[in-house]
Structures are given as structure tokens and as C-alpha cells.
Amino acid sequence: MNFYLVGERNNIAGSRKFKRLIEEKKYEEALEISREQIENGASIIDINLDDALLDSKVEMEIFLKTLSNDIAVSQIPIMIDSSNFDVIEVALKNIPGKAIVNSISLKEGEKEFLRKAKVIKSYGAAVVVMTFDEEGQAVEYNKKIDVCKRAYNLLVENGWKKENIVFDPNILTIGTGREEDRYHAVDFIRATEWISKNLKGAKISGGISNLSFAFRGNSNLRKLIHDRFLEKAIKNGLNMGIVNPNEEVIEFSEELVTLVDRLIDGEDVVDEVLEKFKTVVVDRKSNSDLSLSKIEKNVEERLKTKILEGKVRDLESDIDEALKSYKALDIIQNILMVALEEVGDRFEKGEFYLPQIIKSAVVMENAVKYLTPHIKQKETYKKSKRKILMCTVKGDVHDIGKNITKTVLTCNGYDFIDLGVMVDKETIYNSAVEYKVDAVTLSGLITPSLSEMKEVLDLFDKNNKTIPIIIAGAATSKLHTALKLEPVYKKSVFYTTDASSTVVLLDSLLGEASKIFKEKVENEYQNLRELYYSNKNNTITKDISTARLNGIHKSYNPIAPKSFEKKVLQIQIQNVLKNIDWSIFLSTLKVKGSSEEKTVLDEAYRTLKDWSSKNIVIKVIYKICEVSKNNDFLDIAGMKIPLIRNQGSTNESLADYFEEEDYLGIFIASIKPDNETDIFQQLLANTLVEASSEYLQEYISKSNWNIHIKPAIGYPCLPDHSLKKDIFEFLKAENIGVKLSENFSMKPLSTVCGIYIGNPKSEYISPRIILDDQIEEISKVRLISPTILKRYMGL
């Protein structure tokens, strides 16, 4: 049986070098990566140009036309790898030889599956079918083969040649430490064997690097896992493997090979594997530090290791020893900062994870604090990469994202000035001028912060400044930045998604190619604006009266609660553990699915246990009320709650789930972590308060009144943040120690406020089109000017 290596390095997401070359329009150099892969044994080249900042269709066409002029590469089958079918169609029109489309699936149903298959077939291409269906990804063996059999029959019935059908039964990550992930390799190999025996003529492919993703950063271990897995999978019918053909050949001991075989076979040997690989010595530069945890002989190496591993034990005694040979400033700049920059480099490469760099930054902070009294008055720091001013804007108290970014910037050699939270525009402007900063970052979690950001930009613009300002935070988006913010402060506003992206952005913004980068972003924002206004012109809109008439009322028979009494509760942490969804917590820390996931979860549970011992609890206040409805307004004892209605082609509103006389719940839940300045603890508290709202819904539903959904104030269902003020006053929220800022940001940070709806037909909605007539109607009822109301709603 033939096996084909599929080269994976012509992938924007998988190769930073390839991405850079495409961004710089160096297509010939990018093609050199294809040639290298062919020279190293690749039989097929996988090409993926999916990236939010690129026009993937244009880039795909140019790159494939460049490829078609290359004698060697144009003779090799091309695998088009894209999640955008428009990109796939462009590629099919420009591939000189045999094409393989990666991929289609049954995720969107049979009709869409067959539509795409028909297009692919018309070009004579082969197709990779991923094992997804309408229910999601096929994880277990039986589901994998069921999806493959169904897709195979559909394609064959529609005239597909069996040899042009390729199945990818999803290679999923092993070695995470979770029981449910242990058998992913086994399930894939079993599915491979079944397909090769039962779906005659079809081929089988897989992305091999997915298997070892939990060990990202340990290239030797990953290489061995890939080799052993391929040997087993090929014997069972695997025809294609998407790999890096440039990996070096490495010899491993028989003991290690056996241990990795056991891991692939589903045995719980993750700790044994990691422990064994600590002692592996490989004659290769990138792996020279595998035994990092050994005790180095000199003080310089010990201090470096403390930074790299984030360990503070004996830090001060090591510093005292170093002070016998070095000046305090030299220790900071030539030993500690060098190590910290290595932490930043490893984070960028995916070798280190966010919890690790947070620990490293804490060690650095402690070291600098200890060394500061030893710095002589005339000594000065070397110039850092650049100086960045950071803050959360006026009215917003959230700073977790800012603090994470600050940590990552520190590890990447940037100096920063942190103004903290709730910072007014004058302070931001004056500080930027006084400290002669190279860039400013504005952060905001709640939608009123968007207006504050606009005022800051306006102040900089009026004073003819050109200091780049970076926009970040949960309330922000690239589209909003392009539409509302960049036009205020032309060519100097840049949106970023998270901490690691901020580093990349600053490196581009303040680097040698700054001018080219700024022009690229400016063009991107202009394209976004043109696309938005073009779509807006074609958007169906309705006045609020018409929209209300077109709303679909979901009637039901309201059931009165057992009690209308206001309740104040203290919920013990152990009661909500079963309600915790760890996915956002792990994703924010960049460890989801990685080898660090189990370590982080263990630390989280230890922290929760410590909080419980200190009697830290979730504080809750809630009440079920009688409510009357008038149009789209609810009236609770004189408190008016507007329920926003969409004014587009559909006209849904939460008001559709209420009868004229009905019931409504209102609630606040909050927890204050032991240390609010600790990023890990604050993220953990956020996770816990979300879990507590789930627990509270279950508790109230069982004991008092059945709840179906619990929309939170400030989210798309209820975008007006000022409603928090009414609810806080109505419930007397100060009794559980929570309060609001002037822009309705809640304190403690880990606080949630919302309503309960009892209609079993109710669903969460997201009104996208809200016109001025609806705003004016709400304005009259709530006695808030339309301009201010829009600000509170982020419009």
C-alpha cells in the first residue's frame, strides 16, 4: 500500500515564516518552502492561506499562479486547505495539476455537503471528508465510522469515483491527562482499519501533529509520537499524513519507544513519559535545555532558571550571591531581563503558556523589588524596546486583560506605564505627552467604554498627536474600530484581540516596516467600512411599530412563584463546583488542550480549597416579582425595563415571551477573590461567579419558581447597562457589598446582574438592528437622552 506525505509548512497558521512571506508579497520565497518539503519527501503540498488580515482569495490566486510556473512544484498534487469554500473555488480554477480539497463535511447537512461536492467534482478534484455531521465532531470510533459510511454512500450515489474520496477521521489530541482523551489514537486507528476494509477504494488522511498538541514545545517527544503513530496507522490503512517532512531523524531508546507506544495505545502514562523525557539528551540546539530543572552550578544560571520556571524559592539568597560579583542594575538587565525575553520568545513560539509567563513575571517583579535599594543613584537603565502607556478607560474597572497584556509585554522587552482603571481622557493624554510614550493601549469591557475611548481619541486628534493608540477589551471589535474610532483619529488607531496579538501588533507598528503596516491596516479598515455600508444599504429595516406588529408572541400560562420574598444567600464554593465550565478559563490562559491544562486545573482546585478554608463565598441577592407588560416595556413596581426589539428582517424581542400579567426574576451574584490583583485568581473568580449563576438557576427552579433563561444586563439581549442601576437600587445591592461605577461597571469585578424569564419557549436573542425611533421611545420612558442611551448600549 502506498503512503503519501503531505507537506504542512505552506500554511499561514502553522508557519510564521510562510505567513510573513505572503504578507510581504514574497511569493517566490514562499514557494521555496514548497520545494524544501518536496526535497524532504513530501508527495503532496498542503496550502492554507486563511487569515483575517489577508484577502485569502486574492492571495490564493497569486500564489497558485506563481506555483504553476515552477517546474518542480507544479508537478505535485496540491491539497487546498481552507474553511472558506469561496477560497476553495478560486483555488480549483488556478491549480495546474491534480487538486485535493481539504475539506467538506456533513456539518451543515446533506444538501450543502452535496452542493460543495458537486462543485469539486466538476473540476476533477479529489475531496477530503472530515468526520463531522449535524451533531458536531465525531470523537468516538462508532461515530467516526457511521459518519464516514453515510458520506461515502452519498458521494458514490452522486457519481463520485471511489478513488477520489479521502476520509479524515479526525486525529485528536492525546496526553492531556483527561480520561476522555486517552483513546483518541486508538479510535482513529480502529476507524482507519474499518474504512480500508469496508469503504472500498476510499483513501484515508490525517493531520498528524494534532495528536501530540498537548506536548507542544517538546519537539523530540512530538517527533517520536508521530513516528510511532504513523507506523501503527499505516499498517491499518492510512494513505496520507499531513506532517512536517523537514523534521530531523532522531534515534530513541527502546524504553522510550515502548513508553510512547503505551501512550498511543491509551494507557495512562503521561507523567511517566514527561518524567522520562526530562533526562533525554539530544544533540540539537533547540533541545539543549530539556533538563532545565537540574540545579545549575553558577548563580547566573540559577537566576535564569528561576525566571524560566517561575520559581521564587531561594531567590533572595541567589541575588545576594550575585551582588558579590555584579552591580544590581547589571543583574536586572544582563541576567534577569535576558531570561525574561527568552520567556517571551518561547511564548510566541507556543513552547510556553500564559500561566508560565505570569509566574515568570512575578519572579521578575520580586527580584527587581529586592534589587532596587541596591541601585546607585547615577546608574541608569538601558533603553527598552519601547515605552507603552496602558489603562482602562473612565467608568470601567476591569483590568484582567490589561494585566495579562502587561505581563506579556514585559516578557517581550517593552517598558510600560500602567495608569490603572477608570482613567479619564485628560490623564491619559497628559501622561502620554509627559512620558513621551511610543504607543497607548485603551482597554474596556463594558459598552459605555467605547464612547470613552472615542473621547480619548478626539482629544489626541484635536492636539494634532500621532501617537498610535491600540484598542482592546471585550467591548471592542475590529468592525467598531473601523466604523467609529479610526475615523476620529486617522491612521493612528489599531485593534487587537489579546495579549499575544498585542505584542505582534506593537512589533509591526514600531518596527522598521511601520509605514507599510499602517497603510495595510488603514486599507483594511477602509474595506471594512465600504463593505459595512454596502451591506447596510441592502439591509431590510422597519420602524418600531411595524416591527412590533411583526413580532411573534410565544404565549404560555404563567405560574406564580411560591414566594415573592427577596432572598439574600451565601453560597459555599463546593456547592457550585459541578456547574463550572472550565473552557473559557483555560482558553484565556492559553492552555486548553495543552500539556499544561492538568497543572492549571490542579492549581485552580487548590486555590478554591484555600478560599473555602478562608470562608470566601459567593454572595447572592434575588427576588421574583409580579410584572405587567406594555408594548415592549416591563413594569415592576414602577421600575421600567425596556426589552429591545430587532428592527431588521426578523423582529424578535424578549417581550415576546411575556404575557400582559406575568412574573420576572432579578438577581445579582458576586465573589471577591482572596487577592484581586492576582490575574489567575481574578480569572478563577469570574469562572466561579458564572458557575454560581447556573447553580442559582437550578436552586430557584427547584425551590421556588421555574426559570428557563437568565439574560445578563449589558449583553445583546439587554444591552442597556444603565438598567443595572435600577436593579441595584431595587434589590439594595449594597447589602451584599457590590457597587457600580459611573458607567455601570460592577465592583467586585466578578459580579453578574440579570433577569430570570420563566416562559419555557424563551430563547436568548441578539437584536442587531436598533433604530432611532426605538431609542427615542425608550428615552422618553426612562428619562435618559437618546445620545446618552446610545452610549450605554454601545451604539
Which residues 6+ apart lie within 8 Å of 429 measured at CB?
Answer: 456, 459, 460, 463, 465
Q: Is 693 a catalytic residue?
A: no
Residue (of 129, 73, 131) closest to 101 by Cα position: 129
Instruction: Please give the single-letter amino acid code of residue 160.
Output: W
Q: Are the beta carbons of 150 and 111 closer than 8 angstroms? A: no
Per-residue DSSP letter, 295: P
Cell readout for 698 is 437550578
Residue of 449, 653, 745, 779 with catalytic role: 449
**Cα–Cα distance measured from residue 300 to residue 310, given in angstroms and rounded to the nearest whole number:** 15
Burial 388-414 (b: 16+ CB within 10 A, else e): bbbbbbbbbbbbbbbbbbbbbbbbbbb
- Number of Cβ within a 10 Å radius of residue 526: 13
Measured in degrees and rounded to the nearest 5, phi and psi for residue 724 equal -60, -40
Per-residue DSSP letter, 676: T
Q: Are the beta carbons of 710 and 699 closer than 8 angstroms? A: no
Angle at 409 between CA 406 and CA 415, to 5 degrees: 90
Measured in degrees and rounded to the nearest 5, phi and psi for residue 592 equal -60, 125
Residue of 184, 226, 398, 480 with catalytic role: 398
The angle that helices 354-371 and 400-411 make with each other, rounded to 10 degrees, is: 70
Strand order in the sheet with 439-443: 415-418, 387-392, 439-443, 469-472, 493-495
Residue of 46, 81, 396, 399 with catalytic role: 396
Q: Hey, which bits of 530-678 come out as E strands?
A: 567-571, 618-630, 633-636, 639-642, 661-670
Q: Is 398 a catalytic residue?
A: yes
Which residues 6+ apart lie within 8 Å of 651 measured at CB?
Answer: 542, 547, 548, 550, 551, 552, 645
What are the start-end ranges of the H helices in 199-269?
219-235, 254-264
**Cα–Cα distance measured from residue 434 to residue 137, given in angstroms and rounded to the nearest whole number:** 54
Q: Is 320 a catalytic residue?
A: no
**Cα–Cα distance measured from residue 291 to residue 281, given in angstroms and rounded to the nearest whole number:** 8
**Cα–Cα distance measured from residue 416 to residue 57, given in angstroms and rounded to the nearest whole number:** 39
What do you get for the CA distance between the two ends of the chain, in Å?
A: 61
Cell readout for 422 is 477608570
Angle at 441 between CA 440 and CA 446, to 5 degrees: 145
For the CA atoms of 320, 321, 324, 325, what is the dihedral angle to 10 degrees?
Answer: -120
Q: How far is CA 499 from the centre of its chain?
A: 10
Q: Are the beta carbons of 167 and 148 closer than 8 angstroms? A: yes
Catalytic center residues: 396, 398, 449
